[in-house]
Amino acid sequence: MYEQDKRAIIDAALEIKHYGLIQLAGGNVSVRKENGDIVLTPSGTYYDTMRVEDVLVLNADGEVIEGVLRPSVDTVALKYIYDHLKDVNAIIHTHQPYTTAIGLIQDEFPACSTTLCNVTLGPGSVAPYSSPASLNMGIQTVDYLNGKRAVILKHHGVVTVGRTLKEALYAAIYMEDAAKCYLAAKAAGNVAIM
């Protein structure tokens, strides 16, 4: 079931690993289908060795209907996001270091580049700390997205969303690229904000 989506999820997971947005088996990638099913990465499985049959399918109630591995530990948060943001059909959660670092020093990632604005739809908010793998992680994400495609989770990482997996993937990758630029500029002086 959903083999094409499972392959796309593995490809996206390998992309975020390639760009250094996650390490080992960190983070997760998921998509929601029109019928409410959620296709997502399992917990604790290295993306380099992940097979199509390792990717899980949950029904709209969050019950595993396909797959034998344990779902991502963030499933309760992901389900909350999907339940409360009807236009979101893809979620990527990373631990990308440069964007996460911004959340350690300020409460917003300001709009400093056209790339950031194009893919995340403007400045990124920093949500207060919430425990990983908790419902509160999902609540904070919904509360702090503010119509954007990305939110920084203080002391934790980043959640990006999109109508498609491509939108969520681009938001994650380009946000980290903009974060590198922003932190380099901040180290040298005052950053010009758009």
Please say whether the beta carbons of 124 and 146 come within 8 A: no
Q: What is the mean pLDDT of residues 120-127?
A: 96
H/E stretch holding 180 reads helix 165-188
Tens digit of pLDDT for each residue in 33-80?
Answer: 999 999 999 999 999 999 999 999 999 999 999 999 999 999 999 999
pLDDT tier at 100, thresholds 50, 70, 90: very high
User: From residue 112, how far is each of 115, 177, 179, 191 by CA, in Å?
Assistant: 9, 11, 9, 8
Q: Strand 28-32 relative to strand 90-94: parallel, antiparallel, unpaired?
A: antiparallel
Tens digit of pLDDT for each residue in 171-190?
Answer: 999 999 999 999 999 999 99
CA torsion angle 132 154 47 7 (round to 10): 90
For 116, the 3-state DSSP assignment is helix
Mean pLDDT, the chain, as a whole number?
96
Q: Is 131 exposed, middle or buried (0-12, 13-18, 19+ CB in 10 A)?
A: exposed
Q: Which of 87, 193, 64 is nearest to 142 (CA)?
A: 87
- The residues near 190 (Cβ < 8 Å, ≥ 6 apart) are none
CB atoms within 10 A of CB 93: 31
Q: What is the mean pLDDT of residues 142-159?
A: 97
In the sheet that holds 28-32, the strands lie side by side as: 64-66, 56-58, 38-40, 28-32, 90-94, 157-162, 150-153, 124-127, 108-109
Question: Which residue has better confidence, 83 or 194?
Answer: 83
If phi over 0 gives left and psi between -120 and 50 gives alpha, with beta otherwise, what is residue 86? alpha
Q: What is the mean pLDDT of residues 114-119?
A: 92
**Residue with token string 């049959």:** 53
pLDDT of residue 45: 93
Please say whether the beta carbons of 66 and 56 come within 8 A: yes
